[in-house]
Structure formats: C-alpha cells, structure tokens
Amino acid sequence: MGSALPPVAMVILVAGAGCVFGKVLVASGIGDAIADVLDRTGLPVLVLGFLTALALRAAQGSATVALITTAGILTPLLQRADLSTGQLSLVALAMGAGALALSHIDDAGFWTFTKLAGLDARRACAPGRS
C-alpha cells in the first residue's frame, strides 16, 4: 500500500475537492443563482446537464468532479422542474455523456494510467519525440 498510494494520491485529492466544491455550491446558494441563469437560457434541462458537465470537464479534466459539480449546480433547477424518475435518469445520462466527452492532457485518468503503467508522459504527449 505504501508504494501504491503516492502515484494516485493527487487524483484522490482532486476528486475529493470536487465533491466538496459541489456541496459548497449547494450549501452557499450559488447553485440556485447559477440554476436561475441557466433556466433563463430556455434550453431543456437535458441539454443544460450535458453542456454544463462538458464545460466543466474541458476546464478542469476530471469526469468525477465535472459530474458532482454539475449535479450541485443543477439540483435547484431539477427540484423546481418536478421531473419523473425516468426523466431524471435521462438527465443523469446526459451529464455523464458530457463529463466523458472531452478527455485530454489534464485528465486525471491520463495521469493515473501513465503513472501506474510506468509510461513516460513526455513521450505520451509528444509521440514523435524521444
């Protein structure tokens, strides 16, 4: 365990921080304010879930953090919408699709894979260089 923890410790900390960030959005009321702005766009909640998760994933790289933060932002909007279980399931799937759509160099999964597989990140990022 001592040798396995250091390579993934940063990933665990980032995911934990994302969870806390999502809770702060809900508890502070910022989520309500953002939900109001998103509601005024007139877009369906399904599209809002996808686009919000997509933007967050592109901005910071973690699908887990994007999902949890999107849930924190959209919770007030979803509560007001009075959706059925099936509709909420579709919103969750749309958020998941948005969070998985953009995987790039700042993705925690990329760094976890390169560290655990013992790959050289410089070669993984620039395949033509040695």
Question: Which domain, by its residues, includes 55?
Answer: 5-115
- Is the per-residue pLDDT at 130 higher than 70? no
In a domain, 130, yes or no: no
In a domain, 52, yes or no: yes
Residue 125 placed within a domain: no
Residue 10 half-sphere exposure, CB side, CA atoms within 13 Å?
A: 11
Q: Which helix (H) or strand (E) segment is 45 a member of?
A: helix 45-60
What pLDDT is attached to residue 117? 79
Into how many domains does the chain fold?
A: 1
Q: Is residue 127 part of a domain?
A: no
Q: What is the pLDDT of residues 63-99, one digit of tens each?
A: 888 888 888 888 888 888 889 999 999 999 999 999 9
Burial of 117 (0-12, 13-18, 19+ CB in 10 A): exposed
Q: Could you give the CA distance from residue 42 to residue 115 in angstroms, rounded to a whole number?
A: 43
pLDDT in tens, 17-50: 767 776 777 778 777 788 788 888 889 999 999 9
Would you say residue 121 lies in a domain? no
Residue 114 and residue 124 in contact, taking contact as beta carbons nearer than 8 Å = yes
123 inside domain: no
- Enter the pTM of the model: 0.68
Domain membership flag for residue 26: yes
108 falls within a domain: yes
